[in-house]
Amino acid sequence: MATLLLPTACLAASDNALLPRNLSPWGMFQGADLVVKAVMIGLAIASLITWTVWLAKTIEIRRKSVLAQQRLGLLERDTQLAEVEQASRDSNDAVAQIVQSAAREAALSGGILDDGFKERIALRLERVEAAMSRQIARGTGVLATIGATAPFVGLFGTVWGIMNSFIGISEANTTNLAVVAPGIAEALLATALGLVAAIPAVVIYNHLTRSIAAYRALLGDASAMVMLLVSREGDRSLFRLARAAE
């Protein structure tokens, strides 16, 4: 009976010897194939980029939104374009550029409120809004790319690792799960990292898209307030500029 159990015990000992000593994520990374390692490193870098973009854009959007709301509060008062333009002359934020663009067009028009004046003002404000929207959305496209491609990159690493595992099975002439499992686990780790990189990227991209849309709405409100201000001054025959007063 002991003789019959001896080959089985020897085979189990041999299979256990083939197992890596460390089956933790770091241990599986160290035991993975070079291509799988490269995939994992790339996904880790993509995840780092995702969180960096989230932090940077969140701070930028919040700061610019607060400043835009302050400018809107100034535009909602019973004021004149000359006063608003003078208050924002040394600033470079989006609403300040909207006001300065309207003031520049008024200066070029010589203060004459003809039929095409409001159309020229609206065209200038539309161009400023588009430029500021592109600027605030800069850097978010990489999140969409990571969210769309990271699962497939991880799947590539998994397919490559499983392929190497099957090659190892054929070379070892054994189908024992103890021999196959470590290589498959290392391969599946690439898919897990792909999901870890992709899911936050998609969630953060959607969150930033909503925040950017809210910021664009503030710029639209600012443009509307400038148009109303110009219209009121035209009706009251009070249209003037700070530059003309200097």
- pLDDT tens readout for residues 181-209: 767 777 788 888 999 999 999 999 999 99
For residue 78, pLDDT beyond 80:
no
Domain total of the chain: 1
What DSSP state is assigned to residue 176? -
In a domain, 212, yes or no: yes
Is residue 238 assigned to a domain? yes
Whether residue 209 lies inside any domain: the answer is yes
pLDDT for 2 beyond 60: no
- pTM here is 0.75
**Residue 13 belongs to a domain:** no
User: Considering the domain boundaries, does residue 11 fall inside one?
Assistant: no
How many CB atoms are located within 10 Å of the residue 181 CB?
Answer: 14
The whole-chain average pLDDT of the chain stands at: 78
Dist CA 1 CA 190 (whole Å): 45
* Domain membership flag for residue 199: yes
Residues 167 and 126 sit within 8 Å (Cβ to Cβ) = no
Identify the domain containing residue 85 by its residue range.
Answer: 33-245
Instruction: Give percent above pLDDT 90 in the chain.
Output: 24
Q: What is the dihedral of CA 246, 98, 106, 242, to 10 degrees?
A: -10
Does residue 28 fall inside a structural domain?
A: no
Instruction: Look at 209 and 6; give whichever has higher pLDDT.
Output: 209
Q: pLDDT value at position 9?
A: 43
Environment class of residue 6 by beta-carbon count within 10 Å: exposed (0-12), middle (13-18) or buried (19+)? exposed
Q: Residue 195: is it exposed, middle or buried by C-beta count within 10 angstroms (0-12/13-18/19+)?
A: middle
